Structures are given as structure tokens and as C-alpha cells.
């Protein structure tokens, strides 16, 4: 019982923390290029190429924020006549 | 003057000097000179507030403060557990908020927050990064500030601890911090401490309301903007608001006063909440006072005479009632007489009682009270009165008449005393002075005569009415105060001459305009002095008073039974013994028999003047100061006509022997 409560508490805290980070720091470093925005070429002579995942920005929106934005857009557009 | 050059001089020539046309009619403004400044009569505001200037005010303030403070303290004390629970709930929240807001400031959370959110909403990472960099730059130094503040705080606490702060001090600091945190953590609309008083809702007067109401009254004001409000505008004045405004053009304030009902209707307020008056500056200025509550619901301030140290003076203004603004209204008993009129239930007896209380608390005043209602309204004052009569029986009525007869004779005696005093230089104005009145044995002590339901007396003894009139006229300067209270003041019950001689008229609730004007004088109703708005019983004590400094509505004080008893006890203590002596009860004389007795054998009749003289000479205790007219009217009741009587060669109006005998015979027949 105690364990369950603790687990639920921890879960809730984690969710709340994630939601907070989605709200005030919506971007995190791109997983693909580690926030650099470009990939270094294997061969040293060649120039680096931009990261395709983050479109060379080095930042990617968190998944939570992405879902949130999608939901908001759906909600906002729901009443608009086509 | 026009100068004509010599060469243009001509006999035929007329020079017409043009009148000066145009130009300013008003004197030009000029700078104030020293003389202007020093001759200014601006009233300076008092440095010490009025309430602190007298003992009574200071006491009242102290009493109020103690009462209010005590109530507040006890109220909060009983709710301490509730407050503690609230503090326990709100303090952590407040602490968290404080930490949160400091952190938020330190990280620059508010800097371009919405722009960053917008960028995130649109998934525009480049813009977001630029904005975030800017945020970082502008808040770069803030953590250092926070850190420095924390270090300073720690150092301060350490210093205080080293300086030797007792543990109690730390507890206090902790409690204060917790309280501040709770204050910071409570919702804005939920105070931690409860309210100690519930304030009643009230009406506030605005210039807009006044303007709309005056326009709606259609007294000639067309546009709301035509009304002007001289400074300080609509402002709080006592328990209400005073709007002083100027009516446009030649509209006078009395037009507003006459239509008080309409004004109240336009303001959507009860009539007794709306009190228009003529303003102080010019006849077109209105002082509209609107109470926070209707006057009938406002209660009344304490009467100064109920104070355990109260002592009045016959010669100084004393409060006898309050006006709508709860300000006391004063009357000086010396040199005035009072007529109180009003329908049953209007509070006449209480109004008369207020005056009697004033007189009672001056230990030099002799009291003579006669009330012809028979219910003993003034019974508690009887032991302090030199003469007291109560009832509608012959005995009471004749006592009432004796009082007036005595007063008349007293006027005679006092007139001579005053004359002697004046010759000595003690009475420079030919009036009783406070010094003379207070001198024992001067025979000039003030006399207070109150006749309640006086119409009974005047109907029974018409000569009493004349006596009353003469007492009212002569007694004023001689320290004899006459108060008459009556239900009806019409021609038959109270002769108009009395009404005219009385200086102060107090009209309580009456039925209509006619009764109102009978008491207050013709035209009073038209001038806006109308007591018809008051309802009997409900508005008991309210009335219109004329003859005082400012005629208007006055509500008599209404001391409780306990306060009444206290006043009487205090008066008894001040006086020690009854002031003055009872009037000599004159046995009622039969004027017809007396008139026949003074007729010498051989005289066929006597002129009224001679008859009056002989009556006065024969029985001075009864007929002193009787006039020929009084004799004529008294005998007319027996059916003695006013006929020509031959004196020498002339015919003078008088009573004939035949007529007197006939009247006697008629009476004997009627008696059988």
C-alpha cells in the first residue's frame, strides 16, 4: 500500500515536472546532432552537413509540447467553418 | 472736453460729444495690495479639532475608543484558533510563492515570455533560440544578486545572534515571518482576520443625481449643466452629504424648498432623507443635504442635559432638539416664549418636557406647571414646582388662571424693581440680567410657566387668554418664560393675539396647511415651513421651529424614563428646596356681582374704564391690571350690552344699571 502511494506520488511528480518543462523550456537539444545542428562528415576534408531532424537548429520541441500544440490546434480549429 | 482749434471756430458749429460706448463694465483685475491681504476675513481652520476642545468631546472620544478597541480585541481573541488554522494553511503557500517568484525573477522567466511561447507554439526553433539568448543575457547577473542577498541575510542573522538576541526575539521574528508568508499566500479576496463591524449600506449623493433631479423637477432648469457647484462641491457633512449648488438665472431656492416632495421623488429617496435649505451666499443657492439614511431611522445623539454633571442657565442657549443633520439646536429661555402645537400623538408633551428639563436644571428658575390633559405627564416634576396643577376640573383650571393672574401682577412688581435697578445702574437695558436674577432677594429670579393643553383653560376662562397674551408681551424682558402647548391653535381656542406675541413657535405634526399656518403664521406653509410631512406617532418629536436662529426642522430630544428620573434627581439635588412660592389661590369672584357692588347709588351706569378702575381698586388681588376691554368682554358673557352712559355731557360706552340688573335677574331665573 505504502509502496503504491509512493509510486503514484513519484509518478505524479515526474508528470508535473515534465509538464512544467514543456511549458517553460519547450525545446531540448536534438538527439541526432546533440544540439549542434549539423553532422560532421566522416571524412575530415569534407564540410559538415546540416542535421535533417532539427533542420539545422539543434533544438527539437519536446514530445509533450508537440502533442500539446497539436491538441490546442485541434481545439482552436474545431469551431471554424470549412 | 473737445478742444476746437481757433481757426475752425464757428458760431454755427455744434460739437456733439459721443457717449463712451463699449469698454469694460467690470473693474479691471489688479494685483492684491498689502491692505487687501491684511483686511481679508478668511476663516482660519481650527488647529485643535472641535471634538478635542471641550471636556465632553474628549470624554466621548475616549469612551468610543475604549468601546471600539475592546470590542475589536475581544472579537479577534475569540477567533484566534480559526486564524491560526488559516495561517497554517496559507503560510507554506506564501513561502512557496516567495521562493518561486524570486527564482522566476532570477531566471528571467518574464523576459519575452509570450514571444518564446509563440515561437514554441509555431515550432520555430531558430526564433526561440534567439529569444532565449536574449533572456539569458538580460538575466545573467540576477543569480549573483540573489546569492549576495542571501549571504547578506545570513551575515545579518549571525551578527544579531552574536549581539545577543534573546530566544524570545527569534520567536518573534519567526512568527512575523510566518505571518508575512501567510499574508502573501492568502487568496486576494480571503482576508485572514474577519471583519469586526458590519456597515449598513447607505445612499451616496452625486452631482449627477442632483443635476438630474433638479432638471426633472421642471422648475425652469433645462440643462443639467446649468447647475454649478461652488467648491468644495458635493461633500460629506455629518451623517450625510451636502450639495451646495447655484440655480441658473433668477430661479430662487425657495422653489426647490416648496417642492421637496418632488425632489425626493426625483432622487428616489424618502422625503425625510432629503433636506433642502437656502444656501448662505445668495437666494438662488440651495444647500441640499441628503442623509445616509432617512431621518426617522437615524436615531438621535445623546442629549447634553442627560450628563450627570449637567447644569443649564436660563440666560444662555441650551440644546432642546436636533436637526436632520443631528446637530443640536439651541434655545435661550430668556426673552422668549414658546408655542407648541400639534395633533395628538405628535410629541407635544415631550417637547414641552424638554423645555421644562432645561429650566429645571437651572436652580434659580421658579417652575409653574399646569397641564389640562389630566394624565399627569409632568407629575414627576411636581415636587420641584412652586405651583403644579393637573386635570380638567374647575380646581385645576382656576389654578391655571391664578398662575396667569399672578404672572401679570408679578410683571407689574418686576417692572418697578427693574426700574429701580435701572436707576441704580444694574439693568442698563431695562431687562433682567443674569446677575440680577441670581441675586437673592432681588425678586427677579427667572420664572418658567408651562401650560399644557392650554386651549382647555382659554375655553373655560376667556380672560385667562388675555392675561396670557399680556404675560407673553411683558414677561419676556422680566425673566418670565411662558410655554403654551395646544392641539388646536384656532381663533376660538387660542386667540390669534397670543400666537402673534409668542416668539418661538414649534409646530409638530399637523394635519394640514391651515393648522400649520395657525401655529407658524400665515404663509409659513408656502415658504416651505411645513410640519404636515410628519406622521403622528411615527415621527413623534419632529416639528418645524420658527423664531430661533435658523428656522427649520427640529426633533425634540426623547430621554428615556431612566434618564428622565436622573434629570429630576439632579435638579432636586441642585435646587435643594422649591424655588418661589405657590400662587395665592384667589377665590373665583363673580364679576357681575362685583360690578353691581361698585355702582354707587344714584349712578345710572358706568363707563368701562371707570368700572375697570373701581374693580381694580376694590379687589386688587383679583382685578389688578384689568382693562376696560376685559371687563366688557367678561360681562358680555352675562348678556350685559355695551351701551351709552352719560358722563357729564358726553356719552361714553359702558354698562348701564338696568342692563346689569337684568343680567342678574336672568341668572337667578336660570339658576332656579
pLDDT tens digits, residue range B98-112?
999 999 999 998 989
pLDDT at B27: 73
The last residue of a domain, from among B185, B215, B235: B185
Q: Which of B115, B120, B121, B123 to mutate to test the interface with A (most CBs of A within 10 A)?
A: B120
**Closest CB from B109, B121, B125 relative to A27:** B125
Query: Is B664 contained in some domain?
Result: yes
Contact residues, chain B, for A65 at CB < 8 Å? 120
Kindly report which listed range (B118-122, B557-561, B587-591) carries the lowest average pLDDT score.
B587-591
**Of B575, B599, B623, at which residue does a domain stop?**
B575
Contacts of B129 in chain A (CB under 8 A): 27, 57-59
Same structural domain, B362 and B499:
yes
Q: Do B156 and B259 fall within a single domain?
A: no
Reply yes or no on whether the pLDDT at B528 is more than 80: no
- The whole-number average pLDDT for the span B181-189 is 93
Asked if B84 and B150 sit in the same domain, the reply is yes
Which residue, B456, B552, B448, B446, is CA-closest to B504?
A: B552
Q: Rounded to a whole number, what is the largest CA-CA distance in chain B?
A: 144
Return the CATH number at B220: 3.30.980
Give the gap in angstroms from C-alpha A57 to the nearest C-alpha of chain B.
6
What is the 8-class DSSP label of residue B637?
T
Q: Look up cell 445616509; give the residue.
A: B292
Nearest by CB to residue B120, choosing from A55, A58, A61, is A61
DSSP symbol at B228: B
> Nearest residue of B to residue A62 by CA position?
B120
* Subunit contact B128:A58, Cβ cutoff 8 A: no
- Identify the residue among A25, A50, A51 best suited for mutation to test binding to B, counting B beta carbons within 10 A and taking the highest: A25
Residues of A with CB under 8 A from a CB of B: 24, 26-27, 54-55, 57-61, 65-66, 69, 72
- In this prediction the ipTM stands at 0.89
Q: Would you say residue B292 lies in a domain?
A: yes
Q: Which residues of chain B have a CB within 8 Å of the CB of A33?
A: none
CB contact under 8 A, A59 and B128: yes
Residues B365 and B488 in one domain: yes
Are residues B596 and B569 located together in one domain of the fold? Answer: no
pLDDT in the model for residue B324: 81
- What is the C-alpha separation between B254 and B55, in angstroms, rounded? 40
Query: B128 contacts in A (CB within 8 Å)?
Result: 26-27, 59
CB contact under 8 A, B109 and A24: yes
What is the tally of structural domains in chain B? 4
Domain boundary among B297, B329, B349: B297
Task: Judge whether residue B127 has pLDDT over 90.
Answer: yes
β-bridge mates for residue B553, sequence order: B544
Whether residues B565 and B600 fall in one domain = no
Residue B26 covered by a domain: no
Taking contacts as CB-CB distances below 8 angstroms, the residues of chain B near A58 are 125, 129
In this predicted structure, the answer to whether residue B499 has a pLDDT above a threshold of 90 is no
A54 and B125 within 8 Å at the Cβ level: the answer is: yes
Where does the pLDDT of residue A80 fall: very low under 50, low under 70, confident under 90, or very high at 90 and above?
low
Nearest CB to B125 within list A57, A69, A72: A57
Q: In whole angstroms, what is the distance from residue A20 CA to residue A14 CA?
A: 10
**Under 8 Å CB-to-CB from B611, ≥6 apart: which residues?**
B595, B598, B628, B631, B654, B655
Q: Is residue B181 part of a domain?
A: yes
Q: How far is B124 from chain A (nearest CA, A)?
A: 9
Please indicate whether, in this complex, the C-beta atoms of A57 and B120 are within 8 angstroms of each other: no
CB-based contact B125 A66, cutoff 8 Å: no
Question: What is the pLDDT, as a whole number, of residue B10?
Answer: 67
Locate the chain B residue with the closest alpha carbon to A58: B125
Name residues whose C-beta falls within 8 Å of residue B314's C-beta, 6 or more positions apart in sequence: B333, B334, B359, B362, B364, B365, B434, B437, B446, B448, B479, B481
Nearest to B273 by CA among B532, B546, B553, B551: B553
* Minimum distance, in Å, between the CA of residue B100 and any CA atom of chain A: 13
Neighbouring C-alpha atoms within 13 Å toward the C-beta of B20: 4
- The minimum CA-CA distance between B116 and chain A, rounded to whole Å, is 9
Q: Which residue has the higher pLDDT, B287 or B42?
A: B287
Write down the pLDDT at residue B350.
87
Q: Are residues B159 and B240 in the same domain?
A: no
Asked if residue B545 and residue B623 are part of one domain, the reply reads no
Task: Give the mean model confidence (pLDDT) for residues B20-36.
Answer: 77
B129 touches chain A (CB under 8 A): yes
User: Across the interface, which of B117, B121, B126 has its CB nearest the CB of A57?
Assistant: B126
pLDDT one-digit tens code per residue, B329-359: 999 999 899 999 988 888 888 899 999 999 9
Domain that holds residue B110: 66-185
pLDDT for B100? 94
Cβ distance of A27 and B109 shorter than 8 Å: no
Mean pLDDT over the full length of chain B: 86
How many CB atoms within 10 Å of residue B559? 19
* Chain A contact present for B111, CB below 8 A: no
Taking CB atoms and an 8 Å cutoff, what residues of chain A touch B123?
Answer: 61, 66, 69
Cα distances from B610 to residues B61, B334, B593, in angstroms, run: 68, 36, 16
pLDDT band at B8 (very low <50, low <70, confident <90, very high): low
- Give yes or no: residues B484 and B523 share one domain: yes
On whether both B571 and B595 belong to a single domain, the answer is no
B511 lies within 8 A of chain A by CB: no
- Does B325 share its domain with B373? yes
Amino acid at each position: 500500500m505504502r509502496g503504491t502511494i509512493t509510486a503514484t506520488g513519484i509518478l505524479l511528480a515526474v508528470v508535473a515536472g515534465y509538464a512544467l518543462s514543456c511549458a517553460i523550456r519547450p525545446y531540448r537539444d536534438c538527439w541526432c546532432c546533440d544540439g549542434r545542428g549539423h553532422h560532421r562528415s566522416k571524412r575530415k576534408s569534407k564540410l559538415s552537413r546540416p542535421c535533417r531532424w532539427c533542420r539545422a537548429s539543434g533544438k527539437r520541441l519536446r514530445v509533450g509540447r508537440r502533442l500539446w500544440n497539436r491538441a490546442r490546434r485541434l481545439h482552436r480549429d474545431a469551431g471554424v467553418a470549412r | 472736453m473737445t478742444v476746437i482749434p481757433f481757426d475752425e471756430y464757428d458760431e454755427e458749429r455744434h460739437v456733439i460729444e459721443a457717449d463712451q460706448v463699449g469698454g469694460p463694465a467690470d473693474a479691471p483685475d489688479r494685483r492684491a495690495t498689502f491692505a487687501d491681504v491684511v483686511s481679508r476675513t478668511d476663516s482660519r481652520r481650527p488647529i485643535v479639532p472641535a471634538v478635542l476642545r471641550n471636556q465632553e468631546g474628549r470624554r466621548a472620544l475616549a469612551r468610543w475608543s475604549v468601546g471600539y478597541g475592546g470590542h475589536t480585541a475581544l472579537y479577534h481573541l475569540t477567533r484566534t484558533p480559526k486564524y491560526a488554522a488559516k495561517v497554517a494553511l496559507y503560510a507554506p503557500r506564501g513561502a512557496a510563492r516567495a521562493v518561486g517568484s524570486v527564482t522566476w525573477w532570477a531566471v528571467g522567466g518574464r523576459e519575452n515570455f509570450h514571444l518564446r511561447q509563440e515561437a514554441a507554439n509555431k515550432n520555430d526553433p531558430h526564433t526561440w533560440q534567439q529569444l532565449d539568448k536574449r533572456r539569458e543575457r538580460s538575466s545573467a547577473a540576477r543569480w549573483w544578486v540573489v546569492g549576495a542577498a542571501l549571504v547578506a541575510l545570513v551575515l545579518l542573522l549571525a551578527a544579531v545572534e552574536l549581539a545577543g538576541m534573546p530566544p524570545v526575539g527569534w520567536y518573534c521574528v519567526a512568527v512575523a515571518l510566518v505571518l508575512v508568508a501567510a499574508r502573501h499566500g492568502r487568496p486576494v479576496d480571503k482576508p485572514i482576520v474577519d471583519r469586526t463591524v458590519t456597515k449598513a449600506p447607505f445612499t451616496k449623493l452625486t452631482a449627477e443625481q442632483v443635476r438630474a433631479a433638479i432638471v426633472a423637477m421642471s422648475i425652469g432648469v433645462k440643462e443639467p449643466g446649468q447647475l454649478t457647484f461652488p467648491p468644495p462641491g458635493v461633500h460629506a457633512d455629518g451623517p450625510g452629504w451636502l450639495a451646495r449648488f447655484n440655480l441658473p438665472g433668477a430661479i430662487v431656492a425657495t422653489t426647490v424648498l416648496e417642492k421637496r416632495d418632488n425632489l425626493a421623488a426625483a432622487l428616489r429617496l424618502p422625503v425625510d432623507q432629503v433636506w433642502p435649505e437656502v444656501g448662505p451666499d445668495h437666494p438662488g443657492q440651495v444647500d441640499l443635504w441628503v442623509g445616509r439614511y432617512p431621518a426617522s431611522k437615524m436615531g438621535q445623539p445623546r442629549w447634553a442635559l442627560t450628563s450627570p454633571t449637567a447644569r443649564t442657565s436660563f440666560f444662555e442657549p441650551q440644546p432642546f432638539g436636533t436637526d436632520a443633520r443631528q446637530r443640536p439646536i439651541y434655545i435661550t429661555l430668556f426673552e422668549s416664549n414658546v408655542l407648541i402645537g400639534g395633533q395628538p400623538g405628535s410629541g407635544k408633551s415631550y417637547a414641552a418636557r424638554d423645555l421644562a428639563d432645561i429650566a429645571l436644571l437651572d436652580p434659580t428658575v421658579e417652575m409653574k406647571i399646569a397641564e389640562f390633559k389630566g394624565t399627569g405627564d409632568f407629575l414627576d416634576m411636581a415636587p420641584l414646582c412652586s405651583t403644579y396643577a393637573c386635570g380638567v376640573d374647575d380646581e385645576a383650571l382656576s389654578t391655571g388662571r391664578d398662575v396667569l393672574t399672578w404672572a401679570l401682577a408679578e410683571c407689574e412688581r418686576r417692572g418697578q424693581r427693574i426700574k429701580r435697578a435701572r436707576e441704580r445702574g444694574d439693568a442698563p437695558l431695562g431687562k433682567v440680567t443674569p446677575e440680577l436674577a441670581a441675586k437673592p432677594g432681588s425678586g427677579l429670579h427667572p420664572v418658567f410657566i408651562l401650560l399644557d393643553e392650554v386651549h382647555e383653560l382659554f375655553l373655560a376662562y376667556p380672560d385667562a387668554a388675555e392675561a396670557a397674551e399680556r404675560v407673553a408681551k411683558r414677561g419676556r424682558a422680566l425673566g418670565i418664560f411662558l410655554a403654551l402647548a395646544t392641539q388646536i391653535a384656532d381663533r376660538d381656542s387660542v386667540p390669534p393675539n397670543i400666537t402673534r406675541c409668542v416668539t418661538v413657535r414649534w409646530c409638530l405634526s399637523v394635519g394640514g396647511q391651515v393648522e400649520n399656518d395657525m401655529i407658524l403664521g400665515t404663509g409659513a406653509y408656502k415658504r416651505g415651513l411645513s410640519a404636515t410631512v410628519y406622521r403622528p406617532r411615527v415621527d413623534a418629536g419632529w416639528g418645524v421651529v420658527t423664531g430661533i436662529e435658523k428656522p427649520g426642522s427640529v426633533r425634540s430630544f426623547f430621554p428615556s424614563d431612566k434618564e428622565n428620573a436622573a434629570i429630576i434627581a439632579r435638579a432636586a439635588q441642585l435646587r435643594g428646596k422649591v424655588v418661589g412660592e405657590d400662587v395665592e389661590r384667589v377665590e373665583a369672584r363673580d364679576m357681575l356681582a362685583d360690578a353691581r357692588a361698585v355702582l354707587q347709588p344714584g349712578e345710572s351706569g358706568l363707563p368701562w374704564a371707570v368700572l375697570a378702575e373701581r374693580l381694580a381698586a376694590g379687589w386688587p388681588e383679583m382685578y389688578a391690571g384689568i382693562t376696560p376691554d376685559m371687563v366688557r368682554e367678561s360681562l358680555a358673557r352675562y348678556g350685559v350690552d355695551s351701551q351709552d352712559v352719560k358722563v357729564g355731557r358726553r356719552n361714553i360706552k359702558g354698562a348701564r344699571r338696568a342692563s346689569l340688573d337684568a343680567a342678574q335677574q336672568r341668572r337667578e331665573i336660570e339658576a332656579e
